[in-house]
């Protein structure tokens, strides 16, 4: 690992990855030398995931393969410990609304207490994705809504298959 590289972690459950997630990851990839997309193995806050960790990783790898500086890894420890383990000095998150800000402010303060050397960076959601969430996509898909422009096509196909069971 080159200590001069600016490495950032983009953490999340990505269940499933959305075009909003991919927008933030892509924008982060233009700011940092390397972006490590950290897939939470077993999200504590959100509970059981619809897709397995390897499947979520596969979705993100496929959707980000055109970026030369993005890689994907699962993690099961504190976010700041994961960031340090990959050499990241920054955690990048997307913010959609005030509710995201309130939650992320709390997480930032907790992370800062644990690791003052790891900085949080927030990217505002692009307008077309300011409403978009994985849970919203799953709910739309469950009831037959059109999700084709909200997630990559292969994710939409797989989500429809999974929810038809």
Q: Can you give the three-state secondary structure of 57-94, one letter per residue?
A: HHHHHHHHCCCCCEEEEEECCCHHHHHHHCCCCEEEEE
pLDDT value, residue 1: 44
pLDDT value, residue 156: 96
| CA pair distance 66, 127, nearest whole angstrom | 23
Q: pLDDT tens digit string along 50-100?
A: 999 999 999 999 999 999 999 999 999 999 999 999 999 999 999 998 888
pTM over 0.75: yes
Bridge partners for 95 per DSSP: 124
Q: How far is CA 64 from CA 41, 61, 92, 107, 122, in A?
A: 19, 5, 16, 26, 20
Q: pLDDT tens digit string along 106-149?
A: 999 999 999 999 999 999 999 999 999 999 999 999 999 999 99
Give me the CATH code for the 7-163 domain, please.
3.40.50.620
């Amino acid at each position: 690992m080159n200590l001069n590289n600016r490495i950032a972690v983009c953490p999340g459950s990505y269940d499933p990855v959305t075009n909003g997630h991919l927008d933030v990851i892509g924008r982060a990839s233009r700011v940092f030398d390397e972006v490590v997309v950290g897939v939470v193995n077993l999200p504590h806050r959100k509970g059981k995931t619809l897709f397995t960790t390897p499947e979520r990783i596969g979705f993100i790898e496929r959707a980000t393969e055109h970026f030369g500086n993005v890689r994907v890894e699962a993690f099961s420890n504190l976010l700041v410990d994961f960031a340090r383990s990959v050499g990241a000095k920054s955690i990048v998150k997307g913010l959609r609304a005030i509710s995201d800000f309130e939650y992320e402010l709390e997480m930032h303060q907790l992370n800062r207490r644990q690791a003052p050397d790891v900085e949080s960076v927030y990217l505002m959601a692009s307008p077309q994705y300011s409403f978009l969430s994985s849970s919203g996509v799953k709910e739309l898909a469950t009831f037959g809504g059109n999700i084709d422009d909200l997630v990559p096509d292969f994710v939409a196909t797989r989500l429809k298959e999974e929810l038809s069971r």
